[in-house]
């Protein structure tokens, strides 16, 4: 076999291998994208301490993305909001996410139905959750709350007295 023919064959083989490699990467990339979208959602919990003081309002810069704090009941009863805890935890199907609160109570959030479980088109990409706050050896603070919320759509649980104010929990599903 001549050198010229061998070189042409090598170039053709290299081009074929490069095309196969690129096709393999595209398939792998698509599989990774599908795997990422099929991942279980997680829950983000922010613990907000709200107080009422004389002399003006203050909102922690990390809470400025919550217009509810200045526009909706019961938040408008307070004028100082501090972020005192934040976490993001993955849901493990069938197991509640457990988070210890600063007042000694425990929040449990369970994913009842994942997104797309409903046949109803308007309920797709929504999550059915259960939340409860266990007491400190006393009766539960929040026995059971069931909520249906979309991804990145916060809901709030509040009313626990803490350090001269009230605790509010912002709970958000991250898909």
Q: Report domain extents, the chain.
A: 1-38, 42-174
pLDDT tens for 104-161 read: 899 999 988 665 555 555 555 789 999 988 877 666 667 788 999 999 999 999 888 9
The angle at the Cα of 87, spanning 134 to 66, to the nearest 5 degrees, equals 95
Cα dist. 55→29, 59, 70, 80, 165 in Å?
Answer: 56, 14, 16, 10, 16
- Given a contact cutoff of 8 angstroms between Cβ atoms, the answer to whether 145 and 130 are in contact is yes
Check if CATH label 1.10.287 holds for domain 42-174. Answer: no
Q: Nearest to residue 101, comparing CAs of 163, 174, 169?
A: 169
Closest by CA to 86, choosing from 106, 61, 62, is 62
The model carries a pTM of 0.72
- Please state, in angstroms and rounded to a whole number, the distance separating the CA atoms of residues 103 and 163: 9
The predicted model gives 50-54 an average pLDDT of 95
């Amino acid at each position: 076999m001549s050198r010229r023919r061998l070189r042409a064959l090598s170039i053709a083989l290299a081009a074929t291998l490069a095309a196969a490699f690129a096709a393999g990467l595209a398939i792998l990339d698509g599989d990774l994208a599908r795997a990422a979208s099929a991942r279980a959602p997680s829950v983000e919990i922010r613990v907000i301490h709200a107080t009422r003081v004389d002399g003006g309002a203050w909102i922690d810069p990390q809470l400025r993305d919550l217009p509810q704090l200045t526009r909706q009941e019961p938040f408008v009863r307070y004028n100082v909001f501090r972020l005192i805890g934040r976490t993001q935890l993955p849901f493990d199907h069938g197991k509640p996410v457990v988070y210890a609160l600063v007042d000694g109570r425990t929040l449990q959030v369970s994913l009842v139905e994942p997104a797309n479980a409903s046949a109803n088109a308007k309920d797709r990409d929504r999550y059915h959750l259960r939340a409860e706050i266990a007491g400190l050896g006393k009766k539960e603070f929040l026995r059971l709350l069931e909520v249906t919320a979309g991804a990145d759509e916060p809901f709030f649980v509040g009313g626990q007295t803490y350090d001269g104010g009230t605790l509010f929990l912002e709970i958000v599903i991250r898909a």
